[in-house]
Structure 1
Amino acid sequence: MLPENEVDDVSPELPETEVVYSLMRTQRFLSNRLTKMLAPYGVGWTRYEIMQSLVRADREPVSVLTLAHTLERHWTSVSKAITGLERAGHVTRYLNPSNRRENLVELTDFGFTAFQRVDKALATEAAACIPEDPTAGNLLLNLGSLERRLRAAMDDSRPVGQHGYR
């Protein structure tokens, strides 16, 4: 749950820069809290996002570059995180048989089970961060809508991967 003094200072008449500042502070708060929660599972935020992306792709193979675009991270950072996931037995990485310049990543059964355990714990922790307020659900919907509108306004022209991911 956010500290009370930080919840109360949000006003509907905030100038745009204050809204952005408040969103960024909230994002840092949540990111730090959830990263600490993931530590005992041996999974950092990037590794969790990679596993989540592979689950969302129906556990089909996804290229490293598609994952990088989806996660909005440099491909070398994603590749390094994948190496850690490989060592833990959560994913396998191999050359695409139809394009040997491309590496594909696939979630293992062990990785899927680990993801489910981490995802459940993360959902519980994330729920504890959201104020128990009837407007919280609307706020989350509005944030999702804001993200989609910002992406459209910025003419997000990155390539779309095999499963519709950017």
Structure 2
Amino acid sequence: MEDTRWLDSDEQQTWRAFLWTSRLLNEELDRRLQQESGMPHAYYMILAMLSESPARTMTMTELARMVRSSPSRLSHAVNRLEEAGWVRRGKHPADRRTTLAELTDEGFAALEAAAPDHVEAVRTHLFDPLSRDQVLQLREILRTLLVSLDPEGESPDIFGPPQT
């Protein structure tokens, strides 16, 4: 293990801070959504991605990619969302082998009801503690990491055009 590039003290502190911060933020967002809207954060993300797609519909494959989920995990989540009446599945008219997920009006209403509290939680726990310059620095750091982690660009275009 001579070639191991061990983390120095600064890197170790940064790594641990990143781990705990991201874990605590995700736990808080999930807790708030469960408490206020009765849905886990993963379900919220599925509803949000569907709401932003044309006709509020995506193939299950596209949706799995967008929410970074395995097909089986996504299928389980969509089963629950169907039971709630928030999503409906059907076959693609041009390719009967492809399954579409569609956000229902009830699902859109549930998303609209959950969104204000969710956005407030994101603002409170992620953005309010930072200055505007720190927010922009964080965005650029995340952009750099995303390019490194996803060199083929398979992730959705979450940043839009580069900022100057």
**TM-score, normalised on structure 2?**
0.78
DSSP 3-state at the match of 1:15: helix
Shift of 1:59: 4.3
Deviations 1:117-166 (A, max 9, x none): 1111111222222464562x3333333322222222234336578xx68x
- 1:26-64, Cα deviation, whole Å (9 max, x unpaired): 111111111111113221111011011112214431111
Q: Which amino acid aligns with 2:66?
A: T
Is 1:35–1:45's contact at 8 Å kept on the other side of the alignment?
A: yes
Query: Paired residue for 1:70, among 51, 66, 69?
Result: 66
**Aligned alpha-carbon RMSD (Å):** 2.4
Report the counterpart of residue 22 of structure 2 in structure 1. 27
Output the CA distance in 1 between the equivalents of 2:135 and 2:74.
27
Instruction: State the secondary structure of the residue aligned to 1:25.
Output: helix
Work out whether 1:39 is the aligned partner of 2:34.
yes
Residue 24 of structure 1 aligns with an amino acid whose one-letter code is: L
Aligned match for 2:117, one of 114, 121, 129? 121
Secondary structure of the residue that 1:73 maps to in structure 2?
coil
Q: How many residues align?
A: 149
CA contact (8 A) 2:127 2:135 kept: no
Partner letter of residue 125 of structure 1? A
TM (norm. structure 1) is 0.77
Which has the higher relative contact order, 1 or 2, with Cα contacts under 8 A spaced 6 or more apart?
Answer: 1
**1:154: which partner in 2?**
149
Q: Aligned AA for 1:138?
A: D
Question: Contact 2:147–2:153 at 8 Å: present in 1 too?
Answer: no
> Counterpart of 1:16?
11
Deviation at 1:83, TM superposition (A): 0.8
Identity within the alignment, %:
24
Matches within 5 A, 1:107-146: 107-130=103-126, 132-133=128-129, 135=131, 137-146=132-141
| Cα gap change, 1:67 to 1:140, in 2 (>3 Å) | farther
**Pairing 1:54–2:50 present:** yes
- Tell me how far 1:70 sits from its aligned partner: 1.3
How big is the shift at 1:18?
Answer: 2.6
Give 1:107 deviation, angstroms: 0.8
